[in-house]
Amino acid sequence: MMTLEEYILSHIDEEPENLHRLDRDTHLRLLYPRMCSGHHQGRLLKMLVRMIQPRLVLELGTYSAYSALCLAEGLADDTCHVHTIEIDDELDDFIREHLAQSPVGHRVTLHIGDAAQVVPTIEGDFDLVYIDANKRDYIAYYDLVMPRLRPGGFIIADNTLWDGKVADGAEHHDAQTQGILAFNDRVAADPRVEKVILPLRDGLTLIHKL
């Protein structure tokens, strides 16, 4: 019998070949391959970019560059751009290798370093920000990018259901879970934004700046 996930994947756009290779390489060569966005979420990210039509996109947390390439794929043309920031310099070669293999890799600029230091060096206001970095720092990222997000712009935050820990009733003391809980509460109480959580994979929050 076909699983629900298999059914979904068979009824949405196919995963591009370069992203299929990237996903396979991620599972073969990197630790924690579950962090890769993958086929289903990747197609959603591309479609959201098509809908929002951003010119300048910021991504916090590149990992293997799968999501960065999905964001770049959705851009209207080569005048639009994605800036992606990864703090782990050991991923530098892997990321650049796969950006070079992608037909839209030239739309992506990779920055290796701490977002707090890198974001101020990027010129312009962002139309879309995708947050998928250290969960304990999600509120810091939110405060960092909100002043640079244009009115009408969007933030997409990944992993906001955190394996269901946010609602399981248990008392979680680990910093990652506490970071997600605090972020979700902060966004829910922020009158500057509209927000909705999608139960896709590990939770995806869409935030619209009014």
The per-residue pLDDT for 172 is: 85
Distance, in Å, from the CA atom of 173 to the CA atom of 180, rounded to the nearest integer, reads: 12
144, 114 Cβ separation under 8 angstroms = no
The per-residue pLDDT for 171 is: 84
Q: What are the average pLDDT values for consecutive 10-residue runs of the chain, which has 210 residues?
A: 94 98 97 95 98 98 98 98 98 98 98 98 98 98 98 98 91 92 98 97 97
The per-residue pLDDT for 16 is: 97
For the chain, list the domains and their CATH numbers.
4-209 (3.40.50.150)
Distance, in Å, from the CA atom of 56 to the CA atom of 80, rounded to the nearest integer, reads: 6
Alpha-carbon Rg for the chain, nearest whole angstrom, is 16
> Across the strands, what pairs with 108?
82
The per-residue pLDDT for 173 is: 86
pTM of the model: 0.97
